[in-house]
Amino acid sequence: MLKNISNIIKLFLKNKIITENNLDFAKILLKKKEKLLILIIATLHAEMKQGSSCLPIENILKKIKKQVPKNKKKKITKINILKSLLKFNMVSIYSENNITPIIIFNNKIYLYKIWKMENKIAKFLNVNKKNNYINYKKLKININNLFNKIDKNLKIAAKLAITKKITFIMGGPGTGKTTLIKKIIILLIYNAKKKINIKLATPTGKSAAKLTEEINKKIINKKITIKNKKYIPKQAYTIHTLIGLDYYKNNIYYKKENKLNIDVLIIDESSMLDMQIISNIISAIPINTQIIFIGDKDQLDPIGIGNILSDIYTLKKNKQNKSYINNKKNFKKNYKFNTLCNNIHILKKNYRFKKNSDIAKMAKAINSNNIIKVKNLLNSNTKNIKLINVNKKNNYLILINKFIKIYKKILNMLQNKKPVINIINYLNKYQLLCALKKGNFGTKKINNDIKSILIEKKLINYKSKMNKWYIGQPIIITKNNYNLKIYNGNIGIILLDKNKKPNIFLKKKQKNIKKIPIEFIKHYKSAWSITVHKAQGSEFEKVSLILPNEHIPILNKKLIYTAITRAKKKIIIYTNKKTLYKSIKYYIKRNTGLTEQINRSYKKEKIIF
């Protein structure tokens, strides 16, 4: 079929379809120099590095055809690629009786271990049981007492979460997800027939700390009986802590042979979950554990392989049985139409933004790829959203000088002996976000530029050889420290304490401050600017987003959406129109077979040649 594969490999490298790293991976895995297989596995590895679990044969077909002359394209077909691949002993069409390192499943090429993980998740999600420990007679009364008539959307979500073994609840910022978690916990406690063990978990330490604060603030203040208070989860855990992941020993404490004692697991920020984390969770929990996934499907994709919320959302495109979720009788029985697509609910009403909020309109336009609406919003001279061309040096200096003014204000507040909480609250009103860490538009350069101007204006006395910090410097924690209870992504400020010694001050609760001597913390960076990834789960009154002046693959719809929805009142985007519009249009969906595996009901795979 393909005679000169070596040339195609060179073209794949030249056009950045694969890298030398992908090629090395394929050569190590295969050992023998089978060039076609090396090409396929290197391309599969490149896809996996981008978060896909598999390589659709259609995709590799298109990539190869682009690299060969027109007169040879007709000979390169799907059936020819399949036949060529199946000549190798390492490759097979999936069958329970014939497991090979590389398998073809539903016209997709997988590493077997990745397919196995995806299949494990699909089987887990496809289990359809009702919750036997719920008192259904009390449920209707308690739900009606807990929700207002206007909260119908939240009410349906709560019904599903309480009655189903597995539930997915998705919604953007301000749609009431945290409030819903609180009410779900109350309903679970009040409607349980027995003692109930509820656990809260999130992927990151920062989001776990934030959720702990919110739950304690909102639930503990409710009128809950002393008898029931002991069932309220006192804190949210990171998933790694919950399952007992030991990075140094590469071991997980809670797994198949040693399960966690959990009746209900609620996972917030589920958009960050990759396949490996979900697989570890499944191994760690008992088979009857109820699990509730909550998150925003439109935020940034997970760092690892997979994208569970986006995959599960595609099931919503199936005909969801609306009469099912509105009929209270159906919550008591297992109907044959009670499939996973009926356990998914989207929160649409926004409680954070006003009805005519420009930021909410912009977020919606980005998600729907409505460039015309984005253009109209930017051209409407609204005060809440602005686009400024960063190519012009003067505009960049204006941006930098905004943060010099913020620093001057901090110095003024220090001179006037304002409370530390006031200084932190002022600092947290503004945040500069970047897509990149390095380069002219990255956090490293911007933070250094701000520091250089502060030194030039003699606002700080900074001796780089002696100190890595200066008074009034905003910082971001870059590594979890469970002993100090500070987490990757926490933002604070360096100030002197009463003894004139430098401390990092962090906001813990609404009016509480945590201070830690600076010598106790090794992992932190300047935070005048931070990446959009680090800002996930945070919100600020005013956000400035700076993007490169040319489009690069990291600039996509989800990154722009995530950045914009960090702002509560105002967003200023520093780039040119061409780059912004291209970024909003650009998004490469990850290739997975999860929904297909859920839908196929585990029948024997058939591939048509």
Helices and strands in the chain: count of H runs, count of E runs: 25, 22
In angstroms and rounded to an integer, the radius of gyration of the C-alpha atoms of the chain is: 26
The conformation of residue 168, written as its DSSP 8-state character, comes to E
Is 472 labelled a binding residue? no
Cβ-proximal residues to 81 (8 Å cutoff; 6+ apart), any chain:
1, 57, 60, 61, 64
Name the strand (E) or helix (H) holding 533: helix 532-535
Residue that has been written with the tokens 């995530």 in this structure: 562
- Residues linked to residue 345 through DSSP beta bridges, in sequence order: 169
- Residues linked to residue 478 through DSSP beta bridges, in sequence order: none
At residue 361, the 3 state secondary structure works out as helix
Cβ-proximal residues to 603 (8 Å cutoff; 6+ apart), any chain:
none
* Per-position b or e across 177-212, b if 16+ CB within 10 A of its CB: beebbbbbbbbbbbbbeeebebbbbbbbbbbbbbbb
Is 174 labelled a binding residue? yes
Q: What is the dihedral sign for C-alpha 26, 32, 33, 34? A: negative
Give the distance between the most distant pair of CA atoms in the chain: 80
Closest CA to 310 of 322, 320, 295, 325: 295
Q: Which amino acid is at 179?
A: T
Please answer whether residues 344 and 292 qualify as being in contact, where contact means their C-beta atoms are separated by less than 8 angstroms: no
Name the strand (E) or helix (H) holding 85: helix 78-85
CA–CA distance, 568 with 466 (Å, rounded to integer): 39
Is 302 labelled a binding residue? no
Cβ-proximal residues to 193 (8 Å cutoff; 6+ apart), any chain:
133, 134, 135
Is 173 labelled a binding residue? yes
CA–CA distance, 20 with 18 (Å, rounded to integer): 7
Is 175 labelled a binding residue? yes
DSSP alpha helix (H) spans, 244-332: 275-284, 308-315, 322-326
Instruction: Return the structure tokens found at 506.
Output: 């962090």
Is 171 labelled a binding residue? yes
Closest CA to 293 of 283, 304, 303, 282: 282
Is 51 labelled a binding residue? no
CA–CA distance, 272 with 139 (Å, rounded to integer): 31
Is 439 labelled a binding residue? no
Q: Which amino acid is at 136?
A: Y
Q: If 0-12 CB within 10 Å is exposed, 13-18 middle and 19+ buried, where does residue 441 land?
A: buried
CA–CA distance, 423 with 492 (Å, rounded to integer): 10
Instruction: Return the structure tokens found at 492.
Output: 């604070």
Q: If 0-12 CB within 10 Å is exposed, 13-18 middle and 19+ buried, where does residue 373 land?
A: middle
Instruction: Return the structure tokens found at 484.
Output: 């100090």
Mark the binding-site residues for ATP, compressed into ranges. Answer: 171-178
Mark the binding-site residues, compressed into ranges. Answer: 171-178
